Amino acid sequence: MRFRAFAAVMAATVALPCIAQAADLEVTHWWTSGGEAAAVKELATAFDATGNKWIDGAIAGSGSTARPIMISRITGGDPMGATQFNHGRQAEELVQEGLMRDLTEVAEKGKWKDVIKPSSLLDSCTFEGKIYCAPVNIHSWQWLWLSNAAFEKAGVPVPKDWNEFVAAGPKLREAGIQPLAVGGSAFQVNGLFDTLVISLGGTDLYNKVYKDKDEETAAGPEIAKIFAAADDARKLAKGSNVQDWNQATNLVITGKAGGQIMGDWAQGEFQQAGQTAGKEYSCLPGLGLNQTLTTGGDAIYFPLLDDEEKSKAQEVLAETIVDPKVQVAFNLKKGSVPIRGDVDLAAANDCMKKGIEIISKGSTAISTDQLVSADTQKQKEDLMAEFFANESMTPEQAQERFASIIGSAD
């Protein structure tokens, strides 16, 4: 990924699309934390500037809470104008059933195949050669966020990797600090586990399990080590007593917790709190071990509508999302990386720059949302939620169930 000078992009004077007939367009999403709301405002402002109006349809809670509501509305004949899904297979059945808008003409007009990088983002929007969504950003799960103040209070150096973090756990406890902040929703522990797979086990192991769906590997000794690490995480997380991911992030921001494994969207919360990377907090991509980042993230899909004016507004929103100025404004607030390779993020903080450098080098992997079905993800979430909540479940028992899930995954 190449990032040219931002001045050159601005000088190109890429104007946001304008239309003669305006329309209100409801956009449903689960971007409700402080940092996420600030990012959404950038999208809404840019869309409103085209003469249309963004009608915000935020749904509180994680994607696992919001997606069933979104899908129910679309299949029930009450579609919104646009809706968020993660890159991957979450909207797969909606597209196959002909309920989603074909954006191929918009994509060709905007030369999306030339500017959207990596190509896997657009591949996830493509079904039978047609494009059905507009990628918004690149997110990666593989980050350990650390409170510098917490480690100073505990009298131990800020860890340089996951192993040092685990070793510091007892000192944090002694100082009255929660070692690892983890919220109660299932997607958090599922993402944490997948992060351990790639960051501790390596990219080849990750691909064997999630890309090849190799049940033997999932049942083998390498994944056994990952479940042992997940057991460490379970012990370090005991006592978090929060539900939402941003509440867990706030424990790190306030120095009440030592760290959190969470995607790069957590950066938006630190920024909203006025904290500076490298000063109040630190970040370890790849948990400080294997600096490979998955290129997941968010995309906007457009349900088929009977209203011609709203349908035209859908096209305008798709163009607006991919516009280079909007990409910079949105992603600086979101903590994510733009989907375009022709924008500059000189204003990015140190952690975001680390992510950009890793992705630019091509040290990437495809996210699990893109590799396995929504049903498989749900089975994994249920297992990990039970494992973290039930101390009597052994790592061996959890691995046996995990291998079975992978063996039947699609």
pLDDT at 304 over 80: yes
Q: What is the pTM of this model?
A: 0.87
Tell me the average pLDDT of the chain: 93
% of the chain exceeding 90 in pLDDT? 86
Nearest-angstrom CA–CA distance, 254 and 248: 10
Amino acid at 260: Q
Domains observed in the chain: 7-139+297-352 (3.40.190.10), 143-294+372-407 (3.40.190.10)
pLDDT single digits (tens) 230-247: 999 999 999 999 999 999
pLDDT at 409 over 80: yes
pLDDT given at position 15 = 45
pLDDT single digits (tens) 153-194: 999 999 999 999 999 999 999 999 999 999 999 999 999 999
CB 339 within 8 A of CB 116: yes
pLDDT at 7 over 70: no
pLDDT single digits (tens) 271-288: 899 999 999 999 999 999
Beta-carbon count within 10 A of 187 CB: 19
- What end-to-end distance do the CA atoms of the chain give, in Å? 30
Widest distance between CA atoms in the chain: 65
CB 366 within 8 A of CB 26: no
pLDDT given at position 170 = 98
pLDDT at 94 over 90: yes
Residue 13 pLDDT level (bands cut at 50, 70, 90): very low
Least confident stretch, 31-35, 300-304, 343-347: 343-347
pLDDT at 8 over 50: no
Amino acid at 166: V
pLDDT given at position 4 = 35
pLDDT at 11 over 60: no
| Token pair belonging to 381 | 């979430």
% of the chain exceeding 70 in pLDDT? 95
Q: What is the mean pLDDT of residues 312-326?
A: 97
pLDDT at 147 over 90: yes
